[in-house]
């Protein structure tokens, strides 16, 4: 009947743990299996589009919950209910995750809820239809809903490379305007205020946790290489391409504080971005305030 709400228990949906090369993926799988005994796993599928299609194929329910390989959900999430109506019955939901590196909470790394039909029809990342909006993200589709609440913590800092890659990818993607690279003259105006805020935090916060400086360096490099050095931002979906960049710069896995400072100077002088002194104490202080947040309800959209 049109207009009738449908109540869906999260616990009645298949739950897919989607892992690739995360250093902690076996540890997290053990924890998620204990928390969600009905969970299934898809591991090692190359390409974001292909991996999501494999997850959809593994699900026996039309809607399914997806958990990334570096994410730990909060157990209470699985006691909640979705409320579906004509406006959202076919939508994808992505809830925020709290990032252990810098305290940010947004969709990056968060729990999501997909429909098999949506995943089967989408053409993104390595399977892009060629549009700017589909080459590096899922989120520009009108049926993709960013949600307000936080139901998990993401831990992309279990190795120098994992932390650097997490920062690098966000340092690239947050420079973009719906997937398109702005010119230097357009940068400050076309990048959304929220993305600019998050980008600056990736550049400056995190050196109070293990490998956090690697994430900061990766974010600074991603922004500089995209905006100032002509690196092809469309390659950000390809983990082999990103690994090649890392290996080219850091074959010995030695962190260089001069690199962190150099890229900070470039960001400040050429892009007008703020860079703060490298201080673990400041990172901890900043996160103690920025992490204060409250949930409003599982169906509340971000910005609503």
198-202 average pLDDT score: 97
The pLDDT score that the predictor gives to residue 138 is 63
pLDDT digits (tens, 9 = 90+) for 250-272: 988 889 899 999 999 999 999 99
Q: Are residues 101 and 241 in the same domain?
A: no
How many Cα atoms occupy the beta-carbon half-sphere of 264 within 13 Å? 20
Residue 297 lies in a domain: no
Strands (E), 4-116: 6-9, 14-19, 40-43, 63-68, 71-73, 81-84, 92-99, 105-106, 112-115
Rounded CA separation 253/262 (Å): 18
The pLDDT score that the predictor gives to residue 278 is 84
The pLDDT score that the predictor gives to residue 4 is 84
The pLDDT score that the predictor gives to residue 1 is 45
CB atoms closer than 10 angstroms to residue 250: 17
Q: How many structural domains comprise the chain?
A: 2
Is the per-residue pLDDT at 291 higher than 70? no
227-239 average pLDDT score: 93
**Nearest C-alpha neighbor of 206 from the set 265, 263, 279, 269:** 279
Q: Are residues 18 and 54 in the same domain?
A: yes
Residue 303 lies in a domain: no
Per cent of the chain over pLDDT 70 is 93
- In degrees rounded to 5, what are phi and psi of residue 263? -70, -30
Q: Are residues 80 and 213 in the same domain?
A: no
Residue 230 lies in a domain: yes
Here the tokens at position 123 are 């053409």
Here the tokens at position 6 are 């449908």
The pLDDT score that the predictor gives to residue 268 is 97
Would the CA dihedral through 78, 198, 108, 143 be positive or negative?
A: positive
Radius of gyration of the chain from Cα atoms?
A: 19
Q: Are residues 184 and 260 in the same domain?
A: yes
Residue 302 lies in a domain: no
Residue 71 lies in a domain: yes
Q: Are residues 254 and 280 in the same domain?
A: yes
Q: Are residues 29 and 55 in the same domain?
A: yes
Domain final position from 107, 123, 154: 154
Q: Are residues 164 and 257 in the same domain?
A: yes
Task: List the beta bridge partners of residue 17.
Answer: 41, 67
Chain mean pLDDT for the chain: 93
pLDDT digits (tens, 9 = 90+) for 169-181: 999 999 999 889 9
Is the per-residue pLDDT at 37 higher than 80? yes
Domain final position from 154, 177, 209: 154
Q: Are residues 192 and 70 in the same domain?
A: no
Residue 296 lies in a domain: no
Q: Are residues 126 and 28 in the same domain?
A: yes
Domain final position from 131, 154, 177: 154
Q: Are residues 85 and 178 in the same domain?
A: no
149-154 average pLDDT score: 97
Task: List the beta bridge partners of residue 44.
Answer: none
Q: Are residues 246 and 130 in the same domain?
A: no
pLDDT digits (tens, 9 = 90+) for 83-140: 999 999 999 999 999 999 999 999 999 999 999 999 998 876 666 676 755 655 665 5
The pLDDT score that the predictor gives to residue 224 is 98
Residue 298 lies in a domain: no
Q: At what angle do helices 193-204 and 212-227 cross, to 10 degrees?
A: 130
The pLDDT score that the predictor gives to residue 251 is 85
The whole domain housing 148 covers: 6-154
The pLDDT score that the predictor gives to residue 68 is 97
Q: Are residues 29 and 113 in the same domain?
A: yes
Would the CA dihedral through 263, 269, 271, 275 be positive or negative?
A: positive
């Amino acid at each position: 009947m049109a207009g009738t709400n449908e109540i869906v228990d999260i616990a009645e949906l298949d739950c897919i743990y989607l892992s690739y090369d995360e250093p902690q993926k076996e540890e997290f799988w053990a924890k998620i299996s204990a928390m969600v005994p009905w969970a299934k796993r898809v591991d090692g599928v190359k390409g974001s589009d292909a991996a999501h299609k494999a997850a959809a194929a593994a699900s026996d329910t039309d809607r399914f919950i997806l958990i990334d390989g570096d994410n730990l959900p909060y157990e209470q999430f699985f006691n909640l209910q979705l409320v579906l109506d004509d406006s959202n019955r076919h939508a994808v939901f992505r809830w925020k995750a709290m990032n252990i590196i810098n305290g940010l909470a947004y969709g990056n790394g968060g729990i999501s809820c997909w429909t098999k039909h949506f995943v089967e029809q989408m053409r993104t990342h390595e399977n892009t239809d060629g549009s700017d909006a589909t080459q590096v993200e899922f989120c520009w589709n009108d049926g993709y809903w960013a949600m307000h609440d936080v139901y998990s913590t993401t831990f992309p800092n279990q190795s120098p490379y994992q932390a650097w890659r997490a920062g690098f990818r966000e340092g690239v993607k947050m420079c973009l305007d719906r997937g398109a690279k702005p010119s230097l003259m357009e940068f400050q105006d076309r990048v959304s205020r929220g993305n600019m805020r998050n980008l600056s935090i990736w550049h400056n916060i995190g050196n109070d946790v293990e490998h956090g400086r690697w994430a900061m360096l990766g974010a600074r490099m991603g922004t500089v290489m995209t905006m100032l050095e002509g690196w092809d931002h469309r390659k950000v979906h390809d983990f082999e391409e990103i690994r090649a960049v890392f290996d080219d710069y850091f074959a010995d896995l030695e962190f260089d504080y001069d690199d962190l400072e150099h890229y900070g100077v470039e960001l400040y002088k050429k892009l007008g971005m703020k860079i703060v002194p490298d201080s673990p104490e400041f990172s901890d202080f900043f996160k103690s305030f920025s992490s204060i947040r409250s949930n409003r309800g599982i169906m509340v959209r971000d910005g609503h």
